[in-house]
Amino acid sequence: MTIWLDLLGAEIRYVDTPTFGRTRIAESGRDKPEALILMHGIGGHIEAYSKNVVPLGENYHVVAFDFVGHGLSEKKTDIDYSIDNYVEQLRELMDALKIEKAHISGESLGGIVAGVFAVKYPGRIKRAILNTSGGIPIVSEKGRQDVKNLAELSARNFGQAPTAESVRARMQWLIYEGNWDLLTDELIESRRVLYANPGFQKTAPLVFKRLSKAAIGEAKPDLIDLEKIQCETLLLWTKHNPIHDVAAAESALPRIPKGKLYVLKNEAAHWPQYEAPDEFHAVVRRYLDTGEV
């Protein structure tokens, strides 16, 4: 399947937000009563959810969107790309779409945003899914090295023309080695084109600034105040997740008042929604419908 066959049936459009400008979204299931918002990781874009928007749209009003400075959303150079900026973009997007309350799922950076949003706007979230999320303490030396590796791989794609090789290397960091066959030329080229966009080349140093500083110990990582999350929350994890391994998720779980942990049975790393979509969908549907895994 190609990205666009996967997304066949979804609507790709732009929504204006007051502070963050045009935001690109992929949407399906607009007639469904419950909304589900999907958020990608740092340096990512909505194609990370190309296998999920339409299938999950059978059950929910699904919205995946590009964070400001990412994908084809507006490239602003007058913001600091803090977690709070992304949280406010999510709030403004929900307002623009007239979504008062939603289930919110985020992967990596998107998971931090989901967790911080849940703390800041508890009345606007139903259930949260922190999918191979950042925002929890790193508990292993490998995890700390993974942060450095991600910062280095990211830096190869801005300030210079990104190549298929530099993009592939970064995406191999996301995907379990046994699933590298999923990294098709189309997937690599779509990200290379987005990275080569002059707008992204301007915003990338701002987007990756905190990651780069955290990698060399000059800044503390962004953390979710886990004890203050009031909604039911699922840590959806994988056996091969970089930075935050299963032990990190197990360590974070007792701090979340209404938390649950599910580790995928299928082999996957940082992109379970892409690497094991069938299991991902089954877990998401069951959890959002029942609160169980």
Q: What pLDDT, on the 0 to 100 scale, is given for residue 95?
A: 98
**CA 18-24-242 angle, 5° bins:** 110
Q: What pLDDT, on the 0 to 100 scale, is given for residue 178?
A: 98
- Cα separation, 80 vs 71, in Å, equals 17
Give the closest residue to 270 by CA, choosing from 113, 8, 41. Answer: 41
Q: What pLDDT, on the 0 to 100 scale, is given for residue 267?
A: 98
Q: What pLDDT, on the 0 to 100 scale, is given for residue 216?
A: 86
- Cα separation, 261 vs 5, in Å, equals 32
Which residue bears the tokens 């009031």?
230
Tokens, residue 160 = 């210079």
- Cα separation, 268 vs 107, in Å, equals 13
Question: Are the CB atoms for 132 and 262 separated by under 8 Å?
Answer: no
Tokens, residue 246 = 């299963």
Q: What pLDDT, on the 0 to 100 scale, is given for residue 221?
A: 87
Q: What pLDDT, on the 0 to 100 scale, is given for residue 217?
A: 85
Q: What are the extents of the domains in the chain? A: 3-139+222-290
DSSP letter for 80, please: -
Count Cβ atoms below 10 Å from residue 258 Cβ, excluding itself: 13
User: Tens-of-pLDDT digits for all 293 residues of the chain?
Assistant: 799 999 999 999 999 999 999 999 999 999 999 999 999 999 999 999 999 999 999 999 999 999 999 999 999 999 999 999 999 999 999 999 999 999 999 999 999 999 999 999 999 999 999 999 999 999 999 999 999 999 999 999 999 999 999 999 999 999 999 999 999 999 999 999 999 999 999 999 999 998 998 888 888 889 999 999 999 999 999 999 999 999 999 999 999 999 999 999 999 999 999 999 999 999 999 999 999 99
Question: Are the CB atoms for 63 and 54 separated by under 8 Å?
Answer: no
CA dihedral sign of residues 75, 78, 84, 90: negative
In CATH terms, the superfamily for domain 3-139+222-290 is Alpha/Beta hydrolase fold, catalytic domain (3.40.50.1820)
Q: What pLDDT, on the 0 to 100 scale, is given for residue 130?
A: 98
Q: What pLDDT, on the 0 to 100 scale, is given for residue 214?
A: 86
Give the closest residue to 222 by CA, choosing from 96, 105, 119, 68. Answer: 119
